[in-house]
Amino acid sequence: MRGAAPAMQTKAPTCLTLGGVEFVADVSGALFHEAERLLIVADLHLEKGSAYAARRVLLPPYDTAATLARLAETARRLAPRAIVALGDSFHDVRAGERMADADRQTLADLQRGRDFLWIAGNHDPEAPAFAGGERRETLSFRGLMLRHEPMAGAGGEIAGHLHPVARVVTRSGGVRRRCFVSDGVRCVMPAFGAYAGGLNIRDPAFAPLFGESPIIAHVLGRSGVYGVGAHVCRPD
Amino acid sequence: MTRRPRLPALPEAFDQWFAARGWTARPHQLQLLAHAARGESALLVAPTGAGKTLAGFLPSLIDIAGTPRRARRGGVHTLYISPLKALAVDVARNLEAPIIDMGLPVRVETRTGDTPASRRQRQRRDPPDILMTTPEQLALLLGGPDAPHLFGALRRVVLDELHALVTSKRGDLLALDLARLRTIAPGLAATGLSATVRDTDELRRYLVAQDGLAQDASRPMAALVTAPPGAPPDLAMLDTRERLPWSGHGAAHAINEIYAAIKGAKMALVFVNTRAQAEAVFQQLWSINEDALPIALHHGSLDAGQRRRVEEAMAQGKLKGVVCTSTLDLGIDWGDVDLVLNVGAPKGSSRLMQRIGRANHRLDEPSRAILIPANRFEVLECRAAIDAANEGAQDSPPLRTGALDVLCQHILGMACAQPFNADDLYAEVISAEPYSQLAREDFDAALDFVATGGYALKTYDRFAKIRQGKDGLWRVANPRVAQSWRMNVGTIVESDMLKVRLVRGRGKQAPARASGGGGLLNYPARLPGQAAGKPGYTGPLGRGGRVLGEIEEYFLETLAPGDTFVFGGEILALEGIVENEALVSRAHADAPKVPSYAGGKFPLSTYLAERVRKLVSNPRNWKALPAQVREWLTIQKRVSRLPAPGDLLVETFPRGGRFYLVAYPFEGRLAHQTLGMLLTRRMERMGLRPLGFVASEYALAVWSLSDVAGVSMDALFSEDILGDDLEEWLQESALMKRTFRTCAVIAGLIERRFPGKEKTGRQVTMSTDLVYDVLRRHQPDHVLLRAARDDAATGLLDIARLSALLSRIQGRIVHEALERVSPLAVPVMLEIGREPVYGEAQDHILAEAAESLVAEAMG
């Protein structure tokens, strides 16, 4: 076995442009628009752990706290004026009933002093009553449509739902990581939730969404986001 | 053995049966009978061919035959446990002979995963006298409601190949089940059958109930019966006429000599250490097989049906040679093997002796074996192993401390059987040898885990799997919990495996094999009637083809469609992966990627390592070494030095603009890997700008941009490297995550097929890595993380051994600052670039891929 030296310098922020609008692809898996101070996250899947527990697969009950803590950390770092959650924020319609008081409090603290928008997803057509913020089916932002499920044939959009991951293999080895996938018109965001699984970007589900222009996977590393051509990413 | 019991006489029918065969009962068979007659547990240590199995069953046959049926209580009289399903079936068959010959009123039945449901039900209703089964099946029986009915009258348990069973988590589970059997049937006596081991006391304690408070010397032990050893083995090392390779694990250089040895033998077993080596050696043998010798391949990844065909062909004497891995180490005598060829490092002296024993099962004739080292260091290891074997020195691993994940599985199983009282179950558990030192708080943590996940955050009470009733007893919350437990019993967790299915290539006609020709008819994978690929196959990626076997998912992850690899003795091209199957086609390639999938990567034993260090240190010991190796060591002595046995030699030298550090601990690849990871971290902090490292069984090389020659080696290798650095690295380690997954499956946190294995439509797969990441941040002392850390210490990371190394070499590091690479360093230097980077430096890989994107864009 051979190992590479562990140290890695921190990377410069990765820019992701959609229909001429510039975003920063954050290492946390969030998208940030600096001028408007708008933070976008997708697929939080809060209370996924307890959903499994209800079927007696007793996964550690810390996923909601972990997801919210990462969102809070990202918000501290980037100080957004508004946060948009692109649907599937709650793993199921009864997730709210199972959410612990401490986690509700974290969520409330996150919402204080800024706008918070819940876009509806297939897992959470309704957000729980205590969830605060505002509820929308979609949101339009600088000519881009923000929605949960990407729509083939639609114009510029930012969506989630598919949980993209890229498998990158070089001579040095291979990794499978969450990623943003974009062709400069549309962006499918990585899932943000601690227990959210991943779908390989070479899966047929992605094919109808992207056109002729080069598709880039912006892959989440430990210390930065790395742009890799989707055509060199491997299927699972 | 404390006193020699007076040997009992056999009942007349048995005496006559022996006499009719021209046999007399052997002393160890009669001694075992004497212990059984007194209801005592006993360990029988005997070499292969000493009539071990018959010795184990003789007391049962005599007891059952001597008791009128109506005087016996219903239920199983003797339970026989074997590590291998096939061995249980084989032994049952062998037992039929005396039963039929003497007309004994004894019913013998097997129960394995293959036993049809109707027969299982009948066995519950009307149990046989002797039941032959595996540890997993026993666990299932004990977790069912019929256990008291089945085993209430149990008199004896016979544990076959005990030395092999106790070294894994299967042994932990079996120990717990043995404890439960003693509760159900208090008069029970256990008999262990074992090959020669380093420490028989450990096995003797394993067989009987322990008293947790007793001191080591006074702990209860089963009686010991030892059969006389067989003839000493006839061992030789191949002194090749070819140039001995500097590194690598192949046998290409010696393939003609191996072929000649097979040709000259009646039937030869060619043992190798990994499945990859098995594939390579098999290929090479076929490429020179001018006499079309029937040579077959046998390893754990091959389809079970194919392995059975090889075994049957062996039993019928149809084969001349079989290339195999440890899958044929154990148990069954498949045929008249008269020669063992061991390719590569023997790893340990007990391991080697077990393999040698596969040749010639007659006690009075020596087993014949030839060791074929693959490189120069392996010559040293082979020499040390031969010396150890000739002295009869054993180095089997010490007994385990019972694993917590296995305990969790067992606790749930006991709740499935019947409601239990926690105090009673704890008392029962600590009567099992591997758990005899288990603290009550650890038992309670396991119990808490089984009930509600064992989390500090108590939110799952309403989802509990087991609950304590008002009567204080714990019972399963609902029948589905028991059902899920039954589906997940056992401690063998395969890595994610994909079936390898043969389909036709992309419109290509499947080309003929390189080695060509009819000789392949001898290869039992394709015996007549086994057509390759079925008719009615529907398209380029149709699913109609034959399954060749299974292969680890992580190996396939390194391949792209179109890449070629060797599997099951043929060259295959990956066509694609569909759900949980890898679709492949036959291909023709000059340089197939050799499968580097894991399997049989045992580290060099501590004992053998010590002997190798001694051998190297003193030129007077080199007489028995080949001339090429003597020359190599002599030059090493001149340009650098040879370390004294207790010392650690560290060499530093510049080469190609980089600075190298090579150390020679001889402690096995796993411990060296862990050390390499820790050293590079420390060197990074010291500003030495390390670039990478490579580890072999014997040595470790680290290279950096700055010179390490001026650094204090005592400081670099100081023991505190096992502190924070280790902890920090461990957390992120891919090996740790894999270990955690295994524990999570065994403990029952997740099911074997969890999750996304039944990939339906969209393959959104959530991996246990995500669970691990969350748990370690929020509850680092959780029982499953402790179980995973315990495994890592002895398993993939071998921290226990690394720790022993670091304390051994304190103040004993000898540093040679050289101008250039030394002869001893050449083998490990040649490994650089040959093996892929381990999956730790993820960002490094991403950066590399991103750079190629930039290069592409900039034209």
Please give the mean pLDDT across all residues of chain A.
89
Same domain assignment for residues B300 and B171: no
| Cross-chain Cβ contact A234/B459 below 8 Å | no
Q: Identify all chain A residues contacting B749, using CB atoms and an 8 Å cutoff.
A: 57-59
Q: Domain boundary at B210, B226, B242, which?
A: B226
Q: What is the mean pLDDT of chain B?
A: 83
B244/chain A closest Cα distance in angstroms? 23
- Give the tokens for residue B386: 């031969």
Task: Indicate which of A175, A220, A236 best probes the interface with B, i.e. most B CBs within 10 Å of its own CB.
Answer: A175
Yes or no, beta carbons of A1 and B695 under 8 Å apart? yes
CA distance B676 to B660: 13
pLDDT: which is higher, B269 or B604: B269
pLDDT: which is higher, B26 or B567:
B26
Same domain? B674 vs B819:
yes
Domain span at residue B143? 12-226
**Residue B760 Cα distances to A162, A203, B288, B547, angstroms:** 14, 13, 47, 21
Residue B220, pLDDT score: 93
Residue B669 lies in a domain: yes
Give pLDDT, residue B579.
Answer: 62
Residue B102: per-residue pLDDT: 94
Per-residue H/E/C for B566-595: EECCEEEEEEEEECCEEEEEECCCCCCECC
Are B711 and B821 members of one domain?
yes
Q: Which residues, including other chains, have CB under 8 Å from residue B400's CB and lie 6 or more apart?
A: B166, B167, B168, B169, B171, B172, B434
Classify strands B497-502 and B321-324 as parallel, antiparallel or unpaired: unpaired
B167: helix, strand or coil: coil
Taking CB atoms and an 8 Å cutoff, what residues of chain B touch A5? Answer: 680, 684, 689-692, 841
CA distance A103 to chain B (A): 12
| Separation of alpha carbons B278 and B310, rounded Å | 15
Q: Which among A8, A176, A196 has the least Cβ separation from residue B843? A: A8
Q: Is the pLDDT confidence value at A189 over 50?
A: yes
Q: pLDDT tens digit string along B454-469? A: 999 888 999 999 999 9
φ, ψ at B256 (rounded to 5°):
-65, -40
Is residue B846 within 8 Å of residue A219, measured between CB atoms? yes
Closest CA to B342 of B304, B308, B378, B316: B378
At B694, the amino acid letter reads: V
Q: What is the pLDDT averaged over residues B248-257?
A: 86
Sequence-distant (≥ 6) Cβ neighbours of residue B628 within 8 angstroms: B243, B244, B376
Q: How confident is the model at residue B843 (pLDDT cuts 50, 70, 90)?
A: low
The answer to the question of residue B469 being in a domain is no
User: Does B298 share its domain with B190?
Assistant: no
Rounded distance, CA B466 to CA B367, Å? 54
- The predicted pLDDT at position B252 comes to 86
- Domain membership flag for residue B488: no
Residue with tokens 């650094």: B711
Number of Cβ within a 10 Å radius of residue A21: 16
Contact list in B for residue A173 (CB cut-off 8 A) is 558, 836-839, 841, 845
Closest CA to B244 of B632, B622, B603: B632
Does the pLDDT at position B185 exceed 90? yes
Q: Is the pLDDT of residue B256 over 50?
A: yes
- Distances, alpha carbon B777 to alpha carbons A61, A66, A106, B712, B780, in Å: 12, 9, 17, 36, 6
Question: Would you say B726 and B678 are in contact if contact means Cβ atoms under 8 Å apart?
Answer: yes
Burial B202-232 (b: 16+ CB within 10 A, else e): bbbbbbbbbeeeeeeeebbbbbbbebeebee
Instruction: Find the CB nearest A175 among B463, B677, B845.
Output: B845
Which of B455, B694, B777 is facing A2, going by the closest CB pair?
B694
Q: Does residue B271 share a domain with residue B148?
A: no
Please give the model's pTM, rounded to 2 decimal places.
0.85
Dihedral sign for Cα atoms in the order A56, A59, A64, A67? negative
**Domain limit, last residue, from B391, B413, B429:** B391
pLDDT digits (tens, 9 = 90+) for B149-161: 999 999 999 999 9
In angstroms, the separation between the Cα of residue A75 and the nearest Cα of chain B is 20
pLDDT given for residue B705 in this prediction: 87
Measured between CA atoms, the residue of chain A closest to residue B728 is A6
Test mutation, A170, A192, A199, chain B, max B CBs within 10 A: A170
Q: Are B55 and B127 found together in one domain?
A: yes
CB B435 within 8 A of CB B178: no
CA atoms of A99 and B741, how far apart (whole Å): 27
E strands, B482-535, are 497-502
Q: Which of A53, A170, A203 sits opposite B463 (nearest CB)?
A: A53
- Residue B326, domain CATH: 3.40.50.300
Q: Which residues, in sequence order, are bridge partners of residue B78?
A: B130, B156
Residues B217 and B238 placed together within one structural domain of the fold = no
Half-sphere exposure of A217 (CA within 13 A, CB side): 30
Angle between helices B479-487 and B404-417 (to 10 degrees): 130
Whether B133 and B249 map to the same domain: the answer is no
Q: In the prediction, which pLDDT does B836 show? A: 41
Spatial contact of B187 and B38, defined as CB atoms under 8 Å apart: no
The answer to whether A3 contacts B680, with C-beta atoms less than 8 Å apart, is yes
What does the block give as tokens for A42?
């997708």
Neighbours of A112 (CB within 10 A): 8
pLDDT at site B856 = 57
Judged by CB atoms closer than 8 Å, whether chains meet at A65 and B452 is answered as no
Mutate to test the interface with B, among A55, A226, A231, A232 (most CBs of B within 10 A): A226
What pLDDT band is residue B580 in, cutting at 50, 70 and 90? Answer: low
- Asked if B381 and B528 sit in the same domain, the reply is no
Instruction: Work out the pLDDT band at B518, boundaries 50, 70, 90.
Output: very low
> Going from the N-terminus, what domains does chain A have, and what CATH number goes with each?
14-148+155-232 (3.60.21)
Say yes or no: B254 and B274 in one domain. Answer: yes
Q: Give residues with Cβ within 8 angstroms of A158, minimum separation 6.
A: A18, A31, A40, A86, A141, A144, A145, A146, A147, A186, A187, A189
Q: How far apart are CA B782 and CA B780, in angstroms?
A: 6
User: Helix and strand tally (H, E) in chain A?
Assistant: 4, 17
Using the predicted structure, report yes or no on whether residue B779 has a pLDDT greater than 80. yes
Q: φ and ψ at B549, to 5 degrees? A: 155, -160
Judge contact between A163 and A188, C-beta under 8 A: no
- Whether residues A170 and B750 touch (CB distance < 8 A) is answered with no
How many Å apart are CA A117 and CA B16, to the nearest integer? 91
Torsion of the alpha carbons at A98, A99, A102 and A106, rounded to the nearest 10:
180
pLDDT higher than threshold 80 for residue A173: no
What span, in angstroms and rounded, lies between the C-alpha atoms of A38 and A82?
Answer: 5
Whether the pLDDT of residue B560 is over 70: the answer is no
Q: Give B375-391 pLDDT, tens digit per residue.
A: 889 999 999 999 998 88
Cα of B722 vs its chain's centroid, Å: 27
* Cα–Cα distance for residue pair B826/B828, rounded to 1 Å: 6
Q: Is there a single domain that holds both residue B292 and residue B373? A: yes
Point out which residues pair with B770 in neighbouring strands.
none
A:B CB pairs within 8 Å: 211
Last residue of a domain, one of B391, B408, B427: B391
Q: Which residues of B touch A59 (CB under 8 A)?
A: 453, 749-750, 771
Report how far residue B649's alpha carbon sits from residue B699's, in angstroms, rounded to the nearest whole number: 10
Residues of B with Cβ-Cβ distance to A194 under 8 angstroms: 770, 773-774
CB atoms near residue A150 (< 10 Å): 23
Residue A180 — pLDDT band, cuts 50, 70, 90? very high
Name the minimum distance, in Å, from the CA of A59 to any CA of chain B. Answer: 7
Residue A138 DSSP label: -
Q: What share of chain B is helix, strand, coil (3-state, %, to 5)?
A: 45, 15, 40
Phi first, then psi: what are they for B361, rounded to 5°? -90, 15
The pLDDT of residue B761 is above 50 = no
The answer to the question of residue B396 being in a domain is no
Q: What is the pLDDT of residue A139?
A: 96
Which candidate from B681, B693, B845 shows the least CB-CB separation from A2?
Answer: B693
Q: Three-state SS for B726?
A: helix
Question: Which among B702, B727, B742, B729 has a CA at the least distance from the CA of B828?
Answer: B702
Q: What is the dihedral of CA B429, B431, B434, B436, to 10 degrees?
A: 100
Q: Which residues of B touch A6 (CB under 8 A)?
A: 677, 680-681, 684, 729, 840-841
Cα(B450)–Cα(B749) distance, rounded to whole angstroms?
8
CA distance B674 to chain A (A): 10
Indicate the number of domains in chain B.
4
DSSP E strands in B423-502: the ranges are 466-468, 474-476, 497-502
What does DSSP assign to residue B232? Answer: P
Distances (CA, A) of B307 to A232, B292, B526, B714: 38, 21, 12, 51
Residues B16 and B143 in one domain: yes
